[in-house]
Amino acid sequence: MNAIARKADTIVKKDIYERPLLVPHQLGMMNKMGSAQARAPLTEIDGVAVEELVACYGSPLFVFSERALVRRYRELRDALTRRYPKVRIAWSYKTNYLDGICRVFHREGAWAEVVSEFEYDKALHLGVAPERIHFNGPLKGESALEKALPAGSIVHIDHFDELRLAERVAERRGCRPKVALRINLQAGALPAWSRFGFNLESGQARDAVMRIVTGGKLELTGLHCHIGTFVLDPAGYRVAAQKLAQLANEIRARFGVELSFIDVGGGFASQNTLKAMYMPGEQASPSFAQYAEAIAAGLSELDAPPRRQPTLVVETGRALVDEAGHLITTVQAEKRLADGRRAIVADAGVNVLFTAFWYKHDVLPAQPSSGTPEATVIYGPLCMNIDVMRDSVLLPPLDVGDRLVFRHVGAYNVTQWMQFITYRPAVVIIGRDGRHGLLRRREDLQTILAQEEVPAWLR
Ligand SMILES: Cc1ncc(COP(=O)(O)O)c(C=O)c1O
C-alpha cells in the first residue's frame, strides 16, 4: 500500500464528526406580562371538528364563523348607537367580498361600501339597492359613474378631475346626483393618508365644497374621511370627527346646506398582533366602545339641532371580519435549519395568507400533544424565501399530517390572495346552527385554464 492509500484508509476508519446542536427551549413565562405559551389545542371551530372540516373540504382551508361575524357586527352597532343617535354601518367590500360574507352583514342591516366598478357590480348582484351603496376610491371610471350617479348611489368624490367628470355625467343624464366629498386631514399625531380626497388644512376641501355648491349640478350630501387602517389610537377619530363636524357647521352656516351624513371611514384595529406590537392584539387593540366614544366626542361639535344632525357612517372592514376567519393547514415536513431552528413545511403559503407579512398571526395545533414547545419557523410551499407564515412561534412537537390553525385571518386574505404555483383553497362558513357549507370552491386546473387563451400560431 502506498502512502496516499494508507492515509485514505485511516481517514475512512475515523468516527464521523457531528456538529453539536444546542436547542434553546423556552418554558414558562418569558416576560412580566405573562404571555401564556402553553396553549390548549384548537380541535374544533364553532363546535365542528377541524378533522371533519378537512375531511369534507381538504387542506388548506379557510373557515369562517357566522356566529363571530354577527357577534362583531352587533357589538359595533351597539357601541355606536349607544353614543350617537343615527348610525349606519357600510360593509367595506374590499376587506372580504365573498357573497356569503357580504350577505351576513347585509342581513344585519349593513349598507355597502365599494371602491371599484367590480365591487359596485358585486353589490348590485347581491341585491343591494343602489341608494344604499357608498362609492369610494381614486379611480371609479366613467362607466361606473354612468351607472352609479343616476341610480342614486352615493359617490364620494376623490379629486377635481372626478368632480368635473361627475358633473358631465350628471348633465348628460339630466339628473342632480347626491355626492359626498372625501376629505384627508391631519388626525392628531397619526401619519396622514393624504393621497385620497381633498386636503382640509390646505383649503382644497373648502374649494371643492364651493365648487359643488355653486356649480349646482351635484347635490352635496356628506363628508367622508378614512384616516388609516389598524389605527390603535382612538384619539385620531375624535380629531377627525371634530374637524368634519366643524366643516359641516361651516357648510351649513355659509351655504345653508344640511349634510345628511358624516362618514368616518374604517380603520379600527382587529384583535390581531402587528409584528411591531409587544402585547397581543387581543389585549392591546381598543374596543369598539373606545372608538365610538372618541367619534361621538368629536361629533359633539356639530351645531345642528339633534333631529337634524347628520347620520354617522362607519365603513369598518377588518375589525368586523378578522376574528371570524381561520386558516387550517397541514404539516408536510419537519426539518432542522442550519442555525438550529426547527422548521415546519405547511401546505399553505403567504400567497393565500397575505397578512402574514405584517401580523404575528396566532397559530395553534389542532390536536392534543405532549412535549416541550420549541421556537419554530412555519413556511409554505412557494419555494421562495419570502414564504414565511411565522418566523418564530412556540409550538409543541408535531408530526407530518398534523393540523395547524391560524386565527384571525378573515380580513383581506381572501381578496388579496394570489394564485401562484398552487390552487387557492376552498373557503367555508359554519352557520350559527353548526351547519357548514362552501363559500368558494377550491381552484383546480380548469379554474386557471378558463381564463387562458392560446393565439392560433402557438397552437
Ligand atoms: C375608504 C375605505 N373605507 C373603509 C376601509 C376599511 O378599512 P378597515 O379594514 O381598516 O376597517 C378602507 C380600507 O382601506 C378604505 O379604503
Q: Are residues 359 and 421 in the same domain?
A: yes
Q: Name the residue of 120, 190, 226 whose CB sits within 8 Å of the most ligand 1 atoms, as the mutation to test its pocket.
A: 226
Q: Is residue 98 part of a domain?
A: no
Please count the structural domains in the chain.
Answer: 2
Q: Are residues 300 and 210 in the same domain?
A: yes
Q: What is the pLDDT of residues 179-190, one digit of tens each?
A: 999 999 999 877
Integer Cα distance of 139 and 136 in angstroms: 8
CATH code of the domain in which 434 resides: 2.40.37.10
CA angle in degrees (0–180, nearest 5) for 160-163-169? 145
Q: Is the CB of 413 under 6 A from ligand 1?
A: no
- Strands 178-184 and 154-157: what pairing? parallel
pLDDT score at 305: 87
- Which of 273, 291, 314 is where one domain is finished? 314
List the single range of 31-40, 105-114, 146-155 with lowest mean pLDDT: 31-40
Cα dist from 21 to 25, 107, 340, 394, whole Å: 12, 57, 7, 18
| Burial of 141 per CB tally in 10 Å (0-12, 13-18, 19+) | middle
Q: Is residue 13 part of a domain?
A: no
pLDDT score at 6: 59
pLDDT score at 15: 77
pLDDT higher than 70, residue 10 = no
- Which of 295, 314, 333 is where one domain is finished? 314
Residue that has been written with the C-alpha cell 367580498 in this structure: 97
Dihedral (CA of 74, 311, 250, 169) sign: positive
In the predicted model, what is the mean pLDDT of residues 85-110? 98
Q: Are residues 148 and 296 in the same domain?
A: yes
Residue nearest to atom 7 of ligand 1 (CA): 266
Q: Name the residue of 80, 94, 414 whose CB sits within 8 Å of the most ligand 1 atoms, as the mutation to test its pocket.
A: 94
| Burial of 405 per CB tally in 10 Å (0-12, 13-18, 19+) | buried
Integer Cα distance of 288 and 91 in angstroms: 15
In which band, very low, low, confident or very high, does the pLDDT at 194 lie, cut at 50, 70 and 90?
confident
Q: Are residues 274 and 380 in the same domain?
A: no
Residue that has been written with the C-alpha cell 377588518 in this structure: 318
In which band, very low, low, confident or very high, does the pLDDT at 31 lie, cut at 50, 70 and 90?
low
Contact yes or no for 273/362 (Cβ under 8 A): yes
Query: SS in 3 state form for 199-256?
Result: ECCCCHHHHHHHHHHHHCCCEEEEEECCCCCCECCCHHHHHHHHHHHHHHHHHHHHHC
Q: Is the CB of 263 under 6 A from ligand 1?
A: no
Residue nearest to atom 14 of ligand 1 (CA): 229
Q: Is residue 153 part of a domain?
A: yes
pTM of this prediction?
A: 0.92
User: Which stretch of DSSP H or E encloses residue 275?
Assistant: none
pLDDT score at 160: 97
Residue nearest to atom 10 of ligand 1 (CA): 267
pLDDT score at 191: 81
Q: What is the pLDDT of residues 233-262, one digit of tens each?
A: 999 999 999 999 999 999 999 999 999 999
Q: Is residue 58 part of a domain?
A: yes
- Which of 314, 340, 363 is where one domain is finished? 314
**Domain membership of residue 374 as a residue range:** 44-63+323-449
Q: Is residue 231 part of a domain?
A: yes
Q: Are residues 310 and 329 in the same domain?
A: no
Instruction: Tell me the β-bridge partners of 328.
Output: 61, 405
Q: Is residue 91 part of a domain?
A: no
In which band, very low, low, confident or very high, does the pLDDT at 16 lie, cut at 50, 70 and 90?
confident
Q: Is residue 18 part of a domain?
A: no
pLDDT score at 192: 80
CA angle in degrees (0–180, nearest 5) for 326-331-334? 140
Give first-to-last CA distance, the chain, whole Å: 65
CATH code of the domain in which 205 resides: 3.20.20.10
pLDDT higher than 70, residue 80 = yes
In the predicted model, what is the mean pLDDT of residues 155-164? 98
Q: Are residues 355 and 307 in the same domain?
A: no
pLDDT higher than 90, residue 421 = yes
Integer Cα distance of 20 and 377 in angstroms: 21
Q: Are residues 328 and 374 in the same domain?
A: yes
Q: Are residues 164 and 240 in the same domain?
A: yes
In the predicted model, what is the mean pLDDT of residues 385-405? 96
Using a pLDDT cut of 90, give the percent of the chain over it: 87
Q: Is residue 70 part of a domain?
A: no
Q: Are residues 282 and 354 in the same domain?
A: no
Q: Which of 417, 377, 411, 372 is nearest to 393 (CA)?
A: 377
Q: What is the pLDDT of residues 286-326, one digit of tens each?
A: 999 999 999 999 999 999 888 899 999 999 999 999 999 99
Q: Are residues 387 and 259 in the same domain?
A: no
Q: Are residues 179 and 273 in the same domain?
A: yes
Q: Are residues 170 and 227 in the same domain?
A: yes
Residue 267 CA: nearest ligand 1 atom is 10
In the predicted model, what is the mean pLDDT of residues 96-120? 98
Q: Is the CB of 136 under 6 A from ligand 1?
A: yes
